[in-house]
Amino acid sequence: MEKIRFTLKIAVAQLNPKIGAFSKQIEKAKQAIAQAKKQGAELLLFPELFTTGYAPRDLLGYDSFVDGNLAALKALAKLADGITILTGFVERNPAKTGKPFFNSAALIRNKKIEAVYRKTLLPYYNIFEEERYFEAGDKHLLVFDQGGTRFAVSICEEIWNQPEHVHRAYEHDPLSTLKKKKVDVLLNLSASPFHVGKPAERLELLKSIAKKHKVGIAYCSQVGANDDLIFDGGSVIMSKQGKVLASAPAFEEAVLVNDLTTPGRVAKLPKSRIEWIARALELGLRDYTKKIGVPRVILGLSGGIDSAVAACIAVKALGEANVLGILLPSRFTSNDSLADAIELGSRLGIETQTISIEPVFSAYERQWLESEGQPLTGVSNENLQPRIRMTWLMAMANKGNRLLLNTSNKSEIAMGYATLYGDSSGALALLGDLVKDDVYKLAAYYNADELVIPDRILTRAPTAELRPNQTDQDSLPPYPILDKQVQKVVERMELPAAKGKDWETFRRLYAAAEYKRRQLPPALRVTSHAFGTGRRMPIAATPIEL
C-alpha cells in the first residue's frame, strides 16, 4: 500500500513572477506544465498568489487588476490538461462585510477549478500586511485524493505556527488535523521572503513537520525579488521521514519533479552566510533592473569600501558591460582614493569616467561668498559636495538611461551619515541592509576567487573625504560598536543595558535621521529588520528614551 501511494510524481514550480504581469506568469506556467508533464508528474504546484506575484498590495484596489488575476486563473485552468494544478490566486470575498479578498489556492483538475482553499493564518507583522486585504478562511486545510494518495493543501504562514515555537502569532495550528484526516502528503504554496538564516530555519521547520506528522511534503515558494524584498525559493520535496528528496537551487527558477520516496536531484545551497547575502543582493539588483526595464546602472566610485562592494555586486548581477563607474573627485579626494577606484574599475572590467566636481564646487563657493559676504563652511559646505556628485550622476543616468545605485550601508543609514539628496540618492540601495562589517565580509567574499578590490580599500580608515583628514569615526561610534548597536536597536528592537557616550551618540543620531530614512530608495532586505517595507516609524516623535 505504502509504495503505491508514494510513487505518484509531483512537480513543484519555483517561479519568479512580476507583480501584475499576468500574461508573463501564464507563459512561465505553460513552460512549467510542459516540463512537469514530460517528466511524468501528475500534480503541479505553483506558488502562493502566483497569478499576481507576491505582494500585489494596493494594486488590489483596482477592480481591473483583480479581474486580470481571475482571468489568469482561468487561463491556467485551461492549461491543466492531463495534469492536476494547484495555484495561488486572489479571490474576491463575496460577503457584504469583512475584508475584500481571500488569499486562495485553486485545485484544478481536468481543466476545471474543483476546489478553492482560503488561507486561514494571515501574517500582519514586519513586511507582511495580509490582513490589510484578506479575510481569513475558516476551514483549515483542503484535503483531496489523487493516485491513491491523500493530499492536504496549506498556504505559507500555516506551517509557521507550530506549538513548539516560543512565540506564536495565532492560537490555532492548522496542521493539528493532519493525522485525523489521514493525510499522506502536505502541500504548501508559499511566498517566503529571504533573510539571513531563513532558508535553514525553513528547511528545519519542514523536516520537523514531516517527522512529527508523518507526512511527505511538497513545498513550493516564489523566487525572485520585488522591490526591496528578495525570495530565495527553497522549494523542496521531502519524504515523510523528513529527508530532502529533491530541492530547487536558491535564487533561481526551477521545476522539481519527484515522487515522495525516491532520492532525486538535491540542489547545492550557498555555503556561507556571506554567500547567501551576496547571491540575494545580486538577484535583488538583477530583478529590479529587469522588472522595471532599465538594465544598465551607474554608480559613483569613491575609492571607499561601500562603492567598491556595490560595484562587485552590480558586475556579478548585470555583467561588466552594464555597469558604469564615475569618479567625482574634489580637493579633498586623496590620490589613493582615485588610484584605488580606477584600479577597481579596471580589475572589474567596467567602464569608468572621471569628472572633477571642483569647477562646480568652486562656482557654488564663489557665489555664496559674494552673496553672503562670508565663505560657506561647516556641514553646509560638506553637504554641497555629495549633492554636486548626485547631480552629475543623475545627469549621466538620465542621458544614458541608467539606474543610479545607492551605496549607503545600514550603519550609515542608522546614523543619518549621508547627505540627503546627495549620497542618500539612487534608485535602489544595494547595501542598505548591511552593517559595515558585513560590507567588509562581502569584499572578502568577492576577493576570494579573484582579487578585485584593491587591498588599500580594505585597510584604510573609512572616510567621506568632505574635509581635510576627515574619518567616519570623527562623527560616529567606532564601527564595531556601531554595527552591534544597529543589530541590537534596529534589528532586535532592544536597548542596551549599559548606557555610555557611544550610546548617547547613537541614540541622538538614530532618532534625528528618521526623516532621511523616509526618503531613502528601496533598500534590498537581507536581515529580519531592514529599513524599508517592514518598518513604520513616526518622524515627528519623541522616540525611545528621549
d(CA 175, CA 66): 30
Q: Where are the beta strands (DSSP E) in 378-459?
A: 403-406, 428-429
Cis amide prior to 105 (ω within 30 degrees): no
Q: Which residue's CB is nearer to a copy of itself, number 90 or number 153?
A: 90
Size of the site for a copy of itself (CB under 8 A): 89
Q: Which residue's CB is nearer to a copy of itself, number 451 or number 495?
A: 495
Judged by CB under 8 A, does residue 53 bind a copy of itself? yes
Judged by CB under 8 A, does residue 359 bind a copy of itself? yes
- 28, 48, 130, 135: which is the annotated catalytic residue? 48
Judged by CB under 8 A, does residue 371 bind a copy of itself? yes
Judged by CB under 8 A, does residue 34 bind a copy of itself? no
Q: How far is the CB of 367 from a copy of itself (least distance, A)?
A: 5
Is the CB of residue 67 less than 8 Å from the CB of residue 73?
no
The C-alpha cell at 144 is 483531496
Active site residue 514: no
**Selected range binding a copy of itself among 62-70, 84-92, 186-194, 205-213, rule: CB under 8 A:** 62-70
Active site residue 156: yes
Q: Which phi and psi (to 5°) does residue 102 adopt?
A: -120, 145
d(CA 257, CA 43): 9
Q: Which of residues 428-487 bind a copy of itself (CB under 8 A)?
A: none
Judged by CB under 8 A, does residue 496 bind a copy of itself? no
Q: How far is the CB of 385 from a copy of itself (least distance, A)?
A: 10
Q: Which of residues 157-216 bind a copy of itself (CB under 8 A)?
A: 167-171
Q: How far is the CB of 417 from a copy of itself (least distance, A)?
A: 15
Q: Which residues, in sequence order, are bridge partners of residue 236?
A: 219, 247
Strand order in the sheet with 142-146: 142-146, 149-155, 185-190, 216-221, 236-238, 244-247
Q: CA-CA distances (angstroms) from residue 511 to 383, 419, 533? A: 20, 16, 19
Q: How far is the CB of 103 from a copy of itself (least distance, A)?
A: 14
**Buried-state track 397-413, b at ≥16 Cβ within 10 A, e below 16:** beeeebbbbbbbbbbbb
Q: Which phi and psi (to 5°) does residue 89 adopt?
A: -160, 170
Q: Which residue's CB is nearer to a copy of itself, number 109 or number 132?
A: 132
Q: What is the CA radius of gyration of the chain?
A: 26
Q: How far is the CB of 257 from a copy of itself (least distance, A)?
A: 29
Nearest to 306 by CA among 432, 449, 421, 404: 432
**Selected range binding a copy of itself among 263-271, 317-325, 378-386, 455-463, rule: CB under 8 A:** 378-386
- 9, 28, 91, 119: which is the annotated catalytic residue? 119
Q: Which helix (H) or strand (E) holds 439?
A: helix 436-449
Q: How far is the CB of 546 from a copy of itself (least distance, A)?
A: 7
Task: Work out whether the CA dihedral 530, 515, 431, 483 comes out positive or negative.
Answer: negative
Q: Which of residues 299-338 bind a copy of itself (CB under 8 A)?
A: none
Of 82, 373, 468, 538, the residue at the interface with a copy of itself (CB under 8 A) is: 538
Of 3, 82, 97, 468, the residue at the interface with a copy of itself (CB under 8 A) is: 97
Judged by CB under 8 A, does residue 117 bind a copy of itself? no
Active site residue 48: yes
Judged by CB under 8 A, does residue 291 bind a copy of itself? yes
- 9, 156, 240, 410: which is the annotated catalytic residue? 156
**Selected range binding a copy of itself among 128-136, 208-216, 245-253, 470-478, rule: CB under 8 A:** 128-136
Is the CB of residue 283 less than 8 Å from the CB of residue 225?
yes
Active-site residue numbers? Answer: 48, 119, 156
